[in-house]
Chain A
Amino acid sequence: MVRAVSGVRPRVDRATLLAWTRDYGVYVGVAVIVLFNIVFTPNFLSLENFRVQAVQVAPVLIVALGMALVIATGGIDLSVGAVMALSASAIALYLGYGPVVAVLVALVAGAAAGAVNGLLVAFAGIQAIIATLALMIGGRGLALVLVPRLQGIRNEDLRALGSGSFLAVPYVVWIAAVLVAVVVFLVRRTVFGRGLVAIGGNRRAAELSGLPVRRTLLLVYVLCGVLAAVAGVLTTARLQASDPNSVGVLIELSAITAVVVGGTPLTGGRVRIAGTIAGAVLMQLLVATLIKHDLPPSWTQMAQAAVIIGAVYLARDRRRT
């Protein structure tokens, strides 16, 4: 018995190490990159720089929040970029009725897109990748049909939303913070949040426990759509232009990366909001650092690709291999 145990130990240690890296590696990564910048990057520790970084990370973070919920159920949403484009085009179309109406329409559009995904996944039983791929293809096209080319947005309220601050913190960051709080609240305190994690962890057990599995899944995709729409609104407000052609391009990848780097496995059953935030921040700082040190964008993209593969490799489910 003793021999058996000692024979097993190194493997257990390696597994614990891997699990630890998966769960907390992202914080180490953030710490390392911050330290590196403090030492090597001039003006890193300035309030202005923090504001810039925070504003830039906010849209990705907001999308990643929804993505984290979807991934926690064992699904995926590839359509978030297209939903951002839809939301941007809705702003351009409905700004004539005032900013409030325009924003509301944009959010409703996001909810509708999410509902389409959710219905296909939860009720028609189509794989999440495939269901959301259709909207990924068609959604941006629809946005471009509605608003064919970049359209400037001249509206004081939206400009303020994009560039204004409250207590020296940009509105965009406030909104991201509030949404983080809302999602944390949902996950921690509501039946819905507890249920979605259980569905990802063991769908059959969740069904047998009487949870409304389909309804929960539908709601998760709707929520993801709404959050993507919020990101679309904020990006449009900041650009002061509705640009369905380029808004949110490849953001699905950034969002999935933030979630996975943050320790939520693609197989579902767990959700780590703090990790997701750290993941988004890490990817943002990585890009910013490479740019600050005059490495061309091509390098940053290849570096991002490598980080993604590394994170997914670490997070892959060993039990199933």
Chain B
Amino acid sequence: MTGPVERGPAVLGARGVTRRFPGVLALDRVDFEVLPGEVHALVGENGAGKSTLIKLLTGVYRPDGGGLEYLGAPVRFAGPLRAQRAGIATIYQEVNLLPLLSVARNLFLGREPRRFGLIDFARMHREAREALSGYGVHVDVRRPLRELSMGARQMVALARAVGSDARVVIMDEPTSSLEPREVETLFEVIGTLRERGIGVVYVSHRLDELYRICDRVTVLRDGRVVHTGAMAELERLRLISLMLGRDVADVAGEGVTTFSGEHTEVSSEPVLEAADLAARHRLHGVSLRIRPGEVVGLGGLLGSGRTETAQAIAGALPLDSGRVSVLGVPVRRRSTAAAIAAGIGMLTEDRKHEGIVPGSSVRENIALAALPRLSRFGLVSERRVDRVVRVFMERLRIKAVGPEQKVEELSGGNQQKVLLARWLALEPRVLLLDEPTRGIDVGAKAEVQRLVDELAAEGLGVLLISSDLEELVEGADRVLVLKDGAVVGELSGGEVTERALMAVIAGEPVTAAGERAGDGAPAVRGGEEVR
């Protein structure tokens, strides 16, 4: 798109903000600013600190260090409402509106036009129609919001948030559930906002979009700013390397993971075969096969369909079509129980919401999925549970006071090992690991990686999903790259290098990667040390 219309001093800025959560430094002295009339991309992988930064800017969190500046003066918002009233509008990924109320009521809640103390519905509906037509939404504003498409709802949210007095609009993954046509409308609206001199913070993982509408970009990684600059001047490959934390030039170097490298691949029948997995908006015909003893990596950016692929195989995602078979035997019923019975185990990415049962003991958590096999006639055999729990606590070196300790009291790494133990206790044939080392400490990470090697050596088929390129390159024998819910590339054997992976993710021909790698720009890792 065209360049910025006008530039003044920053309308909203963060100056060296720091934010801690128990055990995590989510933001570390981050500087960030939005100029009036610019669209500023904020990018980073999961856990980079994007959402924390957004929550700081919108008054949900208060910084532990540093501060915010708004319209040229230091400011401290007492809550999201204050920030909103001051003129900072936020559009969340999940639209925060009221589906049962009418479109117009949603639009005007709290500032309804009134006459004699009562709401003037005629005027409200008229104004709502006018306001929404500016966003390409032509609907009966008296109908409940839930009857609108996701895109239209998003426009209503945008119209509400922007209102008449917003100075900054923050959009968190606004296009994730939009149809292409709706995306176009959104971009037109963003163009209008820019012309009005409103600063837009745009969070997205869709690179094409970023390059189309953003003027500048800030890349966050591990709670720090690793790059800020003009969007057009940052090459795709370099952007990806910044996000994923891998220097383009630093590819041949020694890895720091504890993977052993190639696995003894047996060229035999695939242990797992998934074909044409499709689910509306999520997956578009993903196929893959895993042989015994093979670790297949699944790469791609956040939202590319990696997690959904694993869920589909494990029977946890309703599918429009697709087949899954284990050792040639189709998994008939699409349920988690059927997948488990067939020998598929899935370690979920979201430990807290989909993994641990927080109030229960380590022992109960390990035995959970295997309970049917550790029991007879519905009676749990404590002896067998004890044995399994002991074996896996030892093998995975789970650090707990004892098997009776509550799992919520353990560190993230040990919780992850407990969950791994839960699946290993099932003696699965295939293990789907979704970000197995995210958010856990270095020691646990190394142990988990070593374990993946061991399991493959024992003949298990492993699907490894990771945002950590190094982990993929060193851990996987073969890597499939996903984008927008479809496989866009496959690398195997010697082709599996970080450079090649990044190139595939960026959508560039693999051969070009080598040439681009040389051009220097300050080393990514160096950037952190300097700060």
Binding site for B on A (CB under 8 A): 189-192, 194-195, 197-198, 201-202, 204-212, 269-270
Residues of A within 8 Å of B346, CB to CB, are 208
* A-B CB proximity, top 5 nearest: A201-B357, A209-B369, A210-B340, A210-B337, A269-B359
- Bits for B310-332, please: 1 = Cβ < 8 Å to A, else 0: 00001010000000000000000
Which of B116-124, B197-205, B348-356 touches A?
A: B348-356
Residues of B within 8 Å of A194, CB to CB, are 364, 367-368, 371, 380
Number of A-B contacts (CB under 8 A): 78
Binding site for A on B (CB under 8 A): 314, 316, 335-337, 339-341, 346, 348, 353-360, 364, 367-369, 371-372, 375, 378-380, 382, 422
Between A194, A207, A208, A211, the greatest number of chain B beta carbons within 10 A of the residue's beta carbon is seen for A208
Q: Are A191 and B364 in contact (CB under 8 A)?
A: no
Which of A204, A209, A212 interacts with B368 by CB under 8 Å? A209
Q: Which residue of B lies closest to A186 (CB)?
A: B378
Shortest distance from the beta carbon of B2 to any chain A beta carbon, whole Å:
46
Please name 7 pairs of A and B residues whose Cβ atoms are closer than 8 Å in the assembled complex, sorted by A: A189-B380, A198-B368, A201-B358, A209-B368, A210-B336, A210-B341, A269-B359
Q: Contacts A191-B375, A194-B364, A198-B364 known; A208 to B348 CB distance under 8 Å?
A: yes
Which of B336, B355, B375, B378 interacts with A207 by CB under 8 Å? B336
Cα–Cα, bound, A253→B174 (Å): 47
Q: Are B353 and A202 in contact (CB under 8 A)?
A: yes
Which of A191, A208, A209 interacts with B378 by CB under 8 Å? A191
Between A195, A198, A270, the greatest number of chain B beta carbons within 10 A of the residue's beta carbon is seen for A198
Which of B368, B371, B382 interacts with A205 by CB under 8 Å? B368
Which of B353, B357, B367, B380 interacts with A269 by CB under 8 Å? B357
Cα–Cα, bound, A205→B314 (Å): 13
Q: Are A209 and B358 in contact (CB under 8 A)?
A: no
Q: Are A202 and B378 in contact (CB under 8 A)?
A: no
Given A197-B360, A205-B368, A211-B371, output 11 extra A-B contacts at Cβ < 8 Å. Answer: A190-B378, A191-B371, A192-B378, A194-B367, A195-B371, A202-B354, A208-B346, A209-B336, A210-B369, A211-B369, A212-B337
Q: Are B357 and A202 in contact (CB under 8 A)?
A: yes
Q: Are B371 and A201 in contact (CB under 8 A)?
A: no
Residues of B within 8 Å of A207, CB to CB, are 316, 336
Q: Are B360 and A269 in contact (CB under 8 A)?
A: yes
Q: Are B360 and A198 in contact (CB under 8 A)?
A: yes
Shortest distance from the beta carbon of A203 to any chain B beta carbon, whole Å:
10
Residues of A within 8 Å of B341, CB to CB, are 210
Residues of B within 8 Å of A192, CB to CB, are 378
Q: Which residue of B lies closest to A188 (CB)?
A: B380
Q: Are B380 and A205 in contact (CB under 8 A)?
A: no
Cα–Cα, bound, A189→B59 (Å): 49
Cα–Cα, bound, A208→B339 (Å): 10
Q: Which residue of A lies closest to B419 (CB)?
A: A205
Q: Are B380 and A208 in contact (CB under 8 A)?
A: no
Residues of A within 8 Å of B336, CB to CB, are 207-210
Which of B314, B358, B360, B371 interacts with A208 by CB under 8 Å? B314
Cα–Cα, bound, A192→B371 (Å): 10
Shortest distance from the beta carbon of B348 to any chain A beta carbon, whole Å:
6
Cα–Cα, bound, A191→B359 (Å): 18
Q: Which residue of B lies closest to A267 (CB)?
A: B359
Residues of B within 8 Å of A204, CB to CB, are 353-354
Q: Which residue of B lies closest to A192 (CB)?
A: B378
Q: Are B380 and A191 in contact (CB under 8 A)?
A: yes
Shortest distance from the beta carbon of B346 to any chain A beta carbon, whole Å:
7
Q: Contacts A201-B359, A209-B336, A210-B336 known; A190 to B364 CB distance under 8 Å?
A: no
Cα–Cα, bound, A212→B341 (Å): 13
Residues of A within 8 Å of B379, CB to CB, are 189-191
Shortest distance from the beta carbon of A317 to any chain B beta carbon, whole Å:
10
Shortest distance from the beta carbon of A69 to any chain B beta carbon, whole Å:
15
